[in-house]
Amino acid sequence: MDNKENNHSFHESRDSSMDKALPQRSTWQKYRYHILAVAAFVGFLVYVLISISGGRKLRVNSERILIADVTEAPFLDYVDAEGIVQPILTIKLNALESGTVLQVVAEEGSMLKQGDTIIILQNHELARVIDEQQAEWETQRILYQEKRLEMEQKSLLLKQQTLQAEYELSRLEKDYALGVEEFNMGVKSKAQLDVQQEEYTYKTQNTALQLEGLRHDSVATLLRRDLMNNDLERARKNTMLTSKRMDNLVVRAPISGQLSFLNVTLGQQIRQSENIGEIKVMDNFKINTQLSEYYIDRVMVGLPASVTYQGKKYPLKVSKVVPEVRDRQFGVDLVFTDEKPDNVRIGKSYRLQVELDQPDSAIVIPRGDFFQVTGGQWIYKVNSSGDKATRTPITVGRQNPVQYEITNGLEPGERVITTGYANFGEAEELIIR
């Protein structure tokens, strides 16, 4: 009897333990994936319905946004930028003659005076050409000396012949005059006088022709001498010019300043007109800056500007505007118009302000990161109760480092969100909580 009861108890306990190992599954566990899928679909459907009915709404935390007032205030029309001090003048160094670098005298960065030697070149071909020209000129010079002596002798001979002819002409005149007197005295007959007159006429004409020929010869001699003088002078100048080219093999500083760049090495072959370095003039400075292409039509030579250093304002003016735009920026040079900071150094940077116009009244809002997303085409405008903000089209006019000018879409007294919109997506309306 006891054994039967024990066996019965054993089976009951076994059945009981087996019932506990297999509990019943809940409704949520059985259908949770179906429920989640239905919820996702419903959410998507709601999103589509909202989009169709007027745009998506988004809840935002008021502590994570910045709300600014739209005001009518003086618009400060200027542009703020960083400028780098540069020398007002930079001279390029170009080789006047080709040659091989024989010696580098000046070092990069050294201060030079006008005329100081920078490098020395060597050109054997140029030296050969100069020697040939000098030899040729010397030959021409000796030949000229010989020709000049010949012409001087010929000139003397012509003068002697001229004197002789003039003497003969004078003697014939006297003989003929004496013959006329003898005829008048009856010593000489008419026939004798006629013969003497014919001889006198012939010799007079012959002597005149001889004198004319001598004069032509003299003029021709003088002309030849002048031509030879010109040829000799031309050869001399050419020789001097060629010899001067040897001086160009010594590259000197054309102006006083700092040798900021020198790109040569010993033994290097330099071509004529090749750029080998540059000299920065240190007597004065300019400030170079890069401005956004947005201002390219408004920045012009002569505009006032300034830098503020250690609480003091130093006036500038725009001296040059580079019209070429690169990477959406253009270059501007400015020069000091009066006193400049004591610590001005090449390469030093300053914050500067370029005045585009006089301040005038305008509808303005503070600058903000919203512009990066909207491009100034729209903004979130906050309602009067401050719990909603709606996407609103606007037009941005002028801008400076602290303000945007609003020309359309907003009125003074209204409020807008100026913080970044990167997390707002395509929301048409923001619910502010």
**Amino acid occupying residue 245:** R
Which regions in the chain score pLDDT beneath 70? 1-55, 146, 151, 154-155, 158, 210-211, 213-214, 216-222
Spatial distance between the Cα atoms of 220 and 214, rounded to a whole number of angstroms: 10
* Residue in 287, 306, 349 with CA at minimum distance from that of residue 76: 306
pTM above 0.85, yes or no: no
pLDDT of residue 18: 43
**Amino acid occupying residue 313:** K
pLDDT of residue 10: 40
Cα angle at 269 between 268 and 271, to 5 degrees? 135
pLDDT of residue 175: 80
pLDDT of residue 431: 94
Q: For residue 410, how many other CB atoms are within 10 A of its CB?
A: 20
pLDDT of residue 22: 43
- CA 199 to each of CA 159, 186, 216, 340: distance values in angstroms, whole numbers, following the listed order: 25, 20, 26, 102
pLDDT of residue 346: 85
418, 376 Cβ separation under 8 angstroms = no
Q: For residue 355, how many other CB atoms are within 10 A of its CB?
A: 17
* DSSP letter for each residue of 41-89: HHHHHHHHHHHHHH--EEEE-GGGS-EEE-EEEEE--EEEEEEEEEEEE
Adjacent-strand bridge partners of 262: 277
pLDDT of residue 345: 85
Burial status of residue 20 (CB atoms within 10 A of its CB: 0-12, 13-18, 19 or more): exposed
Spatial distance between the Cα atoms of 163 and 171, rounded to a whole number of angstroms: 12
DSSP conformation class of 326? B
Adjacent-strand bridge partners of 252: 117
pLDDT of residue 27: 55
* Residue in 299, 403, 303 with CA at minimum distance from that of residue 361: 403
